Chains A and B, each alone.
Chain A
Amino acid sequence: MNPAAELDFARDVAKRACAAGAEAAQAAFVRDEQVEVCFDNRRLTLLRTTDQDTTALAVFKGGRKGRSSITGRAADAVAAGIAEALAAAEAAPPNPANMIAEAPALAPSAHGPEAADRDGMIASSLAHIETVAREFPAVVSRESYHRFLRTRWSFANSAGLAQQEARGRYAFFTMFSARRDGRSTSLNYVGASAYKPFSSLMEAGVLRRLYGEAERSFDPRPAPGKFVGDLIIVPEALEGLVLWPLGGVLGGYSLMAGTSPYKDKKGTLVANPMFSLLNRPSASHFPEGHDFDGFGIPTRDLDVIRDGVLEDFLVDFYIAKKLGMQQTAGMQCFVVPPGPKSEAEIIAETERGVLLTRFSGGMPNENLDFSGIAKNSFYVENGKIKHPLSETMISGNLRELLLQIRAISKETVDSGGSRLPTIAAGGVTIHGKT
C-alpha cells in the first residue's frame, strides 16, 4: 500500500469499529520494513529481512474502553480485532477519562531515508570486523547487528483526526568483551541510531572508547573496602541508572498510584541547579523521536527539570483526563544539557569514587533507592583512574544523588533517542568484596 492508502485503511478501521457498535474509535496502522546484517567478531552470520503490518485499535462505548492489536490487513482479521476490542470494552467498567482526542492535524512527514543501502550495510559490517581485528584484537563480540528500519505510522480517529509520519533510520548494536590467555572481561554493549548510514560502525556511539576500555580490563580488582564516595556516571550508564527510574516517578501513572516521591514537589528544587532534564520527542536530530503520540496528539517540548527545579510531570492524554491535569507529554526523548567541564577535568577533581560505565542492578523502586554492581567500571582515587573494577557494589538514593551532583561534562553522547553528558555526584556507598 502507498502512504495515502495506509491512512485510508486506518480511517476505515475506525469507521468500521463505529459501525460495529463503538461510540468512538481510533486506529493506528504501523508498517515496518527491516533489513538486518548480523555478525560476530569473526564473520557475518545472518541477513534478515522482515515485513510487519500491525493495526492497533481502541474502541470506546459508554466510557468503557477496549483495545486490540492484529497483524496484517486481512478483512477477517480486522473484523476479529474489532470484535475483540468491543468485547473487551463491554466487559470493562466505565471511566470518564476514556475518550478519543481532538488535536490539530499535522502535515504528513517523512524523516530519513526510504530504503536501506543493503550492500553498503554488508560492506561496513565486514569492514568493522576487519577494523576490530586489527585495532582491538582481544575484543570478541557475539551479538552484533547493523539494522535499517523504516516505519510508517498512520493514525485516524472517529472525530476526524488523522496523522501520518515515516522514519527511516540505521541502527547498530553490539555486545562484546575482551578475551586473552583464557581470561575474559565483563560483557558490555552499546547501541546507537542515526538517519544517515554510519560512515564507520566504529563511530557509532562511543564504541572505540569502550573497546579500548575492554582491552584494559583484564586485571580487575574490587574497590578497596567500603566507603562513601563519588559516582562519575557516563552517558551509557546514566540512562539506565537515573533517567529511566526518574522518568517513571515523574510520570502520570506514578502520580495516579500516589507513589511518586515527587508528587508534591512541583516548583521545588529537586536537583543541583546545574542539572536540567528536558523532553524533546520532536527534535529533528532524534531518529527515535515522534511527531505525534498514541492518541494522535502532536508531541511537544517539555522542560521537566530546569536548573534543578521540578517544572512539570510527564502526563499523557489519559492521565490528564483522569487526574484533571494538563497533558504535557506522550513520548519521551530526554536531553540533559552539558556543563562547562571536560570529563577528564571531572575525573581529576574526584577524591575517591567510581567511573561508572555500566550499572547492573535491581530496578530502583519508587522511593528511588538503588543498588547494584559497577560493571565495566574503574576505581578513581586522587584524581586518577587506578584500576578496572570487579565485585564492587554501589548503593544510594537517586533523589539524594540528584541533589549531590557536583559536575556535568561538556561532552555529550547522542544515542538517537537521547543526548546525555557525564554526571558526577557524591554520597554513594561503594564497597568492594573483601
Chain B
Amino acid sequence: MLDRLERLVGTAPGYAELRLHRNTQRNVSMRQGTVIDNSTSTLAGSSARCHALGTFGFASAPAEDDAALQRVLRLARANADTLGSHAAYTDRPLPKTPRGEGVHDYRTKRAKLPAGARIELLKQLDAQIRARHPKLVNVDLGIQELTIEKALATSEGARTYGNSPRVVLYVRLATEAADGPVQLGQIFGGFGEFEDNAEALAAAMSAIDGLHEDLRRKAEGVFPDAGFHDVVLDSDLAGILAHEAIGHTCEADLVLAGSIAGGRIGQKVASEKVTLMDQGGRGFDGGSTIAIHVDDEGTPCRDVAIIEKGILRSYLNNKATAQELEAEPTGNARAFTFADEPIVRMRSTCIMPGQDKLEEMIGAVEHGYYLKRSSNGQADLTSEFMFGIVCGYEIVNGKLGRAIRDTTISGVAFDVLEAVTHVGDTMKWSNGGFCGKKTIIPVGMGGPAIKTKLNIGGR
C-alpha cells in the first residue's frame, strides 16, 4: 500500500500529499431495553492535496484503486493551479520537516467477537441496572466503536501507516425529580477495539452504581448560586479545561485569527504549578485514547509544551501556519475523513499532574463547588471558555454538601490558570472526546484535579 502511494505521489509536480483513509464505525444503542441502533459504517476513499502558486488544491474520491489515486492527484494539482491563477499570490515553498515514517498499527490481537456480543453486553447491563435501581425512568446504553486507518505518502518522502481504534460504552440514567426528569451519564472504555475492552466494560456495573448515587443526589439537588466561586475541578474535567480553555487558543490558525495568546510566547500566563502539553503518540504515560505518530502532512508528531510552569511556550502548527509564523510544524495537521483536508487540530492535550491531594483541595475551600462531571464545551479567541457541568456538589467549610443541578462554568482561561492554587497528583484521561472545528475529530484529553476560581451559572 505504501509503495503504491509513494510511487504515485512521486509523479506529482511540486508539493503533494496522497492519502488512503478508512473510518470504520459500529454503533449499538439501547433505550428502555429496546435496541434502537444496530449499525456498521465504512467511510473509505482516497484524497490528495497539492500546493502551488501560494495556494492549496484538494480532491477526494470514494475509491482506493490506482486510477482513483491518479485522478485525485491530478485534480488536486489542477485545483491549486486554478485558485492560484485567480489569486496571483507569491509562491513560497512550505517548510520542510523530518519525514514521518513507520507503521503504527493498534489493531486488536485478540480473537474477534461476534456482532451479538455488543448487544449481549448491553442487555446484561440493562438488566442489572433495572434490577438494582428499579425507580429509574429511563436507561440509555450504547457502544460506539471507531477505527481510523490511514496510509500516507508525500512528495517530501514521508510514508506511514496508522490504525487507531477506540471504543466507548455510554450509560445515561434518568430519574423523576419533583420538578421533572433529571439525567446523568458516564462514558467508559477508551483506546483499542471492543475485544480489548470487553472485560472492563462488562465490569462497569460498580461504577454505574456510583453514577446512580450521583443521580439520586442530583435529583434532590439545588441550583448553584450564580457567581464567581472557588471550585475544585475533578480530574475528569481537567482535560476539557486543557482542550477548550487553552488548547484552542494556542492553535496557530486561531492565533493568526487574533487569539489572545498571540504575541505572548515567553510570558507568564498561568500559575507556575501549571504545565500544559499537547502530545503525540498516546500521551506521556501511554494512557490517551487516541494514537497519532505522524500527522496528515507527513510531519512526525512531537510533544508540545504549550505552557511550561506557567510560561506560554509554543503554539500548535501545521505547515501553512508555521510558514506564516516562522515557526516549526509540530505535527498537528489532522483530517477526520478521506474527504477532509488536514487542518490544525489538537491531539492528546493534558495538564500535567502535580503533588496535591483531592481531599486537601476540597478541605481548602470555605464556600464553593466540587465539579465532578462535564458535558460539552466551547472556546473563544478571547480565551473566555465555557463547559457544561452535569454533576457537582457544594463545598461548605471544607466539606461536600448538597448536589447541584446542571449548570455551566466559564472564565477567562489565563485568569483561571493564574488562580490555580492546587494541582492534583492523580492523572486521568477522558474515555471519549471529540473536538468540533469544521469537522469533528477524536481527541485525547486529560489531567489531574485542580483548585481555582471561575464563574458558575445558576439562579
Contacts and interface: CB of A to CB of B under 8 A. Distances in A.
- Real complex partners, A and B? yes
Interface of A: 34, 37, 40, 43-54, 65-72, 74, 77, 81, 84-85, 87-93, 95, 118-119, 122-123, 126, 140-143, 175-179, 182, 184-187, 226, 253, 256-261, 318, 322, 360-367, 369, 371-373, 375, 390-391, 393-395, 429, 431, 433-434
Q: In the complex, which range does the number of interface residues on chain B fall in?
A: 35 or more
A53 B445 CA distance: 33
9 closest pairs, A vs B, by CB?
A: A362-B388, A371-B457, A91-B116, A142-B257, A67-B39, A69-B41, A179-B258, A47-B79, A47-B83
B44 A71 contact: yes
Contacts of A393: 226, 408, 410, 455-457
A226 B45 contact: no
Nearest to B338: A71
29 contacts: A40-B257, A44-B86, A45-B55, A46-B83, A48-B57, A50-B61, A67-B40, A69-B41, A85-B39, A88-B39, A93-B35, A143-B253, A143-B437, A179-B258, A186-B382, A187-B257, A259-B137, A318-B36, A362-B386, A362-B408, A363-B388, A367-B177, A369-B223, A369-B405, A372-B410, A373-B386, A390-B384, A391-B455, A395-B457
Nearest to B118: A91
Contacts of B114: 87, 91
Interface stretch (B155-163, B178-186, B298-306): B178-186
A321 B314 CA distance: 56
B59 A48 contact: yes
Contact of B59 (A49, A87, A373): A49
A44 B85 CA distance: 11
Contacts of A394: 457
Contact of B226 (A34, A45, A118, A429): A429
B58 A47 contact: yes
B44 A87 contact: no
Given A375-B380, A390-B382, A362 B375 contact: yes
Contact of A71 (B45, B263, B376, B379): B45
Contacts of A258: 32, 137-138, 174, 181
A47 B48 CA distance: 12
Interface in B70-115: 75, 79-80, 82-83, 86-87, 89, 114-115
A225 to B, nearest CB: 10
Contacts of B38: 65-67, 88-89, 91-92
Interface in B213-258: 223, 226-228, 253-254, 256-258
Contacts of A373: 384, 386, 408, 410
Contacts of A141: 257
A49 B375 contact: no
Interface string B429-459: 0000000011000000000000000011111
A362 B410 contact: no
B259 interface: yes
A70 B42 contact: yes
A74 B68 CA distance: 13
Interface string B137-150: 11010000000000
A362 B58 contact: no
Contacts of A118: 82
B376 A44 contact: no
A434 B228 contact: yes
B343 to A, nearest CB: 8
Contact of A50 (B256, B339, B458): B339
A232 B280 CA distance: 45
A49 B62 contact: no
A53 B62 CA distance: 6
A97 B135 CA distance: 26
B43 interface: yes
A72 B45 contact: yes
Nearest to A394: B457
A48 B256 contact: no
A257 B137 contact: yes
A423 to B, nearest CB: 21
B57 A47 contact: yes
